[in-house]
């Protein structure tokens, strides 16, 4: 879907939305994963009282996610929200062990310090959403379109309802409806390999650090401790046909393969590669994992903007809605959280000190867009170094 012609963005917007005296701006946040709740909490903490979060999934939907590396700027933003690191960081090691593997044996190990801490999507999501007032978070509300009504942005939902806003924040992930509406020519494309994931039971000898194994071209394996066990990711090449056969739909349609989508063929494919390529202890971790998931690694053209005028209001893309990046970059959650803080700063300066809103929003875009573009470029460079997706590129 695209915006009607009268709501499409102009090249150089200058107008700031005007609000009746005493009325705060209505801010609609689309997406309830990590970036959406972060921006909502930042705005609530700043005194905005007309904030609503719309999440497409029902409240009862099973949600789970893997390991996330958070750098110090993102951790500091969470500190400001009152989220103590002990709440989201179960293992506080900062060490990354990068191991070159030859013939299933460690051949060379490099240790370095990660400037941050590891958490999991599940821990962080729980900490964020527990702090959002019940009246602010609306689940099972899927957005289908964006138009204007008397000059104000108007969201349309699958249930037929609509919501007026002064600002719409799309933080709705890799398959963002906001990106399809605002920036429709930037389409996701499959990179030629898959991140197979699983949560394994805790080993007899506890693992403390984040470990990255590189057995050779065309694969990479990472594993780290999480509450109750280990989180591992095994990157392996797969053609679009292979992905469809193993997970029941093409990668462009099945962006997240949940446990029920993982076929016996997909499981056997991962088990076989683990047995042939990984040291015995890591192969055993993979084999011991019952419930598995998979994510096709995707690329997208770099964004040229993150902000659009819609009538007298605005729409903005944040996090993966703006620019999904390959997981090797470890920048997905960091970009979203930092962009959320930048947006909250711009809005706060406008409300508290009457700063020109257009100028403040564009200044935030100028600061945060380059980091998103860099991460988009960096992902394919890392994949190429590892030989991942090479057959697909050829």
3-state SS of the chain is CCCCHHHCCCCCCCCCCCCCCCCCCCEEEECCCCHHHHHHHHHHHCCCCCEEEECCCCCCCCCCCCEEEEEHHHHHHHHHCCCCHHHHCCCCCCEEEEEEEECCEEEEEEEEECCEEEEEHHHHHHHHHCCCCCCCEECCCCEEEEEEECCEEEEEECCCCEEECCEEEECCCCCCHHHHHHCCCCCCEEEEEEEEEEEEECCCCCCCCEEEEEEECCEEEEEEEECCEEEEEEEEECCHHHHHHHHCCCCCCCCCECHHHCCHHHHHHHHHHHHHHCCHHHHHHHHCCCCEEEEEEEECCCCCCCEEEECCEEEEECHHHCCCCCHHHCCHHHHHHHHHHHHHHHHHHHHHHCCCHHHHHHHHHHHHHHHHHHHHHHHHHHHHHHCCCHHHHC
Q: How far apart are CA 288 and CA 255, in angstroms?
A: 25
Give me 280's structure tokens: 């015995």
Output the pLDDT for position 3: 47
Per residue in 284-324, pLDDT (tens digit) is 999 999 999 999 999 999 999 999 999 999 999 999 999 99
User: In the predicted model, is pLDDT for residue 17 greater than 50?
Assistant: no
User: Interior CA angle at 95 toward 390 and 205, to 5°?
Assistant: 95
* pLDDT band of 204, cuts 50, 70, 90: confident
Per-residue pLDDT band for 22 (boundaries 50, 70, 90) equals low
Q: Which of 126, 130, 123 is nearest to 231 (CA)?
A: 123
In this prediction, residue 4 carries a pLDDT of 39
Q: Are strands 67-71 and 116-120 parallel, antiparallel or unpaired?
A: antiparallel
The answer to whether domain 23-80+121-187+301-386 has CATH 3.50.50.60 is yes
Strand order in the sheet with 152-157: 143-149, 152-157, 162-164
In whole numbers, what is the pLDDT of the chain averaged over residues?
Answer: 92
Least Cα distance to 262 among 213, 327, 195 occurs for 195
* Partners of residue 30 on adjacent β-strands: 54, 170
The candidate with the shortest Cα–Cα distance to 317, out of 361, 376, 254, is 361
Q: Which CATH number fits domain 93-115+191-299: 3.30.70.1230, 1.20.1440.230, 3.30.9.60, 3.40.50.12280?
A: 3.30.9.60
pLDDT computed for residue 392 by the predictor:
57
Say how many residues make up the chain: 394
Q: Report residue 18's pLDDT band, with 50, 70 and 90 as the boundaries.
A: very low
pLDDT at 62: 53
* Angle between helices 72-80 and 332-353 in degrees, nearest 10: 50
With a cut of 70, say whether residue 5 has pLDDT above it: no
Tokens of 75: 């951790």
pLDDT number for residue 393: 54
Query: What pLDDT band is residue 12 in, cutting at 50, 70 and 90?
Result: very low
Model-level pTM? 0.92
pLDDT digits (tens, 9 = 90+) for 161-192: 999 999 999 999 999 999 999 999 999 999 99
Residue ranges, CATH 3.50.50.60, the chain: 23-80+121-187+301-386
Which residues 6+ apart lie within 8 Å of 84 measured at CB? none
């Amino acid at each position: 879907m695209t915006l009607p012609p009268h709501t499409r963005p102009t090249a150089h917007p200058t107008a700031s939305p005007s609000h009746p005296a005493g009325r705060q701006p209505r801010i609609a946040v689309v997406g309830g994963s990590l970036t959406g709740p972060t921006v909502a909490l930042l705005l609530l903490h700043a005194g905005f009282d007309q904030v609503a979060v719309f999440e497409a999934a029902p409240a009862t939907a099973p949600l789970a996610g893997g390991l996330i590396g958070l750098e110090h700027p993102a951790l500091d933003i969470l500190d400001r929200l009152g989220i103590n690191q002990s709440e989201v960081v179960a293992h506080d090691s900062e060490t990354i062990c990068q191991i070159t593997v030859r013939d299933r044996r460690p051949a060379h190990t490099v240790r370095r310090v990660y400037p941050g801490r590891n958490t999991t999507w599940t821990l962080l999501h729980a900490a964020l959403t527990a702090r959002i007032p019940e009246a602010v978070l609306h689940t099972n509300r899927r957005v289908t379109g964006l138009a204007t009504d008397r000059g104000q942005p108007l969201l349309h939902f699958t249930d037929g309802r609509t919501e007026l806003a002064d600002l719409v924040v799309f933080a709705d992930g890799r398959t963002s409806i906001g990106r399809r509406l605002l920036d429709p020519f930037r389409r996701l494309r499959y990179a030629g390999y898959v991140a197979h994931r699983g949560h394994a039971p805790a080993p007899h000898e506890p693992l403390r650090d984040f470990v990255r194994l590189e057995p050779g071209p065309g694969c990479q394996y990472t594993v780290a401790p999480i509450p109750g066990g280990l989180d591992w990711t095994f990157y392996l090449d797969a053609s679009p046909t292979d992905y469809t056969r193993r997970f029941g739909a093409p990668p462009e349609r099945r962006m997240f393969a949940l446990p029920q989508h993982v076929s016996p063929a997909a499981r056997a494919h991962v088990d076989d590669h683990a047995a042939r390529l990984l040291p015995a202890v890591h192969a055993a971790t993979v084999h011991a994992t019952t419930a598995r998931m998979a994510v096709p690694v995707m690329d997208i053209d770099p964004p040229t903007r993150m902000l659009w005028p819609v009538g007298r209001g605005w729409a903005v893309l944040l996090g993966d809605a703006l620019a999904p990046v390959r997981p090797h970059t470890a920048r997905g959650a960091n970009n979203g959280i930092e962009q959320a803080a930048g947006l909250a700063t711009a809005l706060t300066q406008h409300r508290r000190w009457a700063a020109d809103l257009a100028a403040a929003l564009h200044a935030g875009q100028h600061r945060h867009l380059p980091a998103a573009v860099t991460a988009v470029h960096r992902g394919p460079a890392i994949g190429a170094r590892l030989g991942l997706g090479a057959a697909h590129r050829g």
